[in-house]
């Protein structure tokens, strides 16, 4: 039997719902998510350098192009499609639109997820912390100024609406 003839069954949580997938052992998480119809996760470089494929696995930011699908068995995966259910991520999406942090949209899902992970760790980040948290996400359109402003704005709104996120 050849390796590509094998199939594994994965049971994981995808955007807050129990999910089962059957896939070959060498399938990347990026490809599994795209196969599942999630188009917010994008292939940019395929080398973990651009952040276009970023997702949250157990609330930790990962590049799905570098992770095997089988590594999410028993874990929780959040893509940008699941962001509306998360208070920080939903506010970040609004702030990105309001502050002009969205242009072509290629980097936006990864930027929002990276920013959300930051706000969970640090509810009132300094601009330097925001830039550091976004360092793994490449944007060719905005120059990052408006993105940093959007993260700062979301942080302020979240804190004003109910204390720490």
Distances (CA, A) of 124 to 30, 56, 120, 160: 31, 21, 10, 11
Residue 85 has pLDDT above 90, yes or no: no
Domains 3-81 and 86-162 share a fold: no
Residue 68 has pLDDT above 90, yes or no: yes
The conformation of residue 50, written as its DSSP 8-state character, comes to S
For domain 3-81, give the fold.
Ubiquitin-like (UB roll) (3.10.20)
How is the chain split into domains, by residue range? 3-81, 86-162
- Which pLDDT band, with edges at 50, 70 and 90, does 87 fall under? confident
Phi first, then psi: what are they for 64, rounded to 5°? -70, -15
Q: Which CATH architecture has domain 86-162?
A: Orthogonal Bundle (1.10)
pLDDT in tens, 102-130: 989 899 999 999 999 999 999 999 999 99
* pLDDT at site 83: 87
* pLDDT at site 116: 94
Distances (CA, A) of 61 to 49, 73, 113, 163: 13, 17, 7, 24
């Amino acid at each position: 039997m050849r390796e590509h003839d094998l199939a594994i069954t994965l049971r994981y949580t995808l955007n807050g719902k129990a999910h089962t997938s059957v896939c070959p052992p060498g399938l990347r998480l990026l490809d599994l998510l795209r196969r599942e119809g999630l188009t917010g996760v994008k292939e940019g470089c395929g080398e973990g350098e651009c952040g276009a494929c970023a997702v949250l696995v157990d609330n930790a930011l990962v590049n799905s192009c570098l992770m095997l699908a089988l590594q999410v068995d028993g874990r929780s995966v959040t893509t940008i499609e699941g962001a509306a259910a998360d208070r920080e991520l939903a506010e970040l999406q609004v702030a990105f639109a309001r502050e002009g942090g969205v242009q072509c949209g290629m980097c936006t899902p990864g930027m929002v997820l990276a920013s959300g992970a930051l706000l969970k760790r640090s509810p009132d980040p300094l601009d330097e912390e925001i830039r550091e948290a976004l360092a793994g996400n490449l944007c060719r359109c905005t120059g990052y100024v408006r993105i940093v402003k959007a993260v700062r704005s979301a942080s302020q709104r979240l804190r004003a609406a109910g204390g720490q996120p």
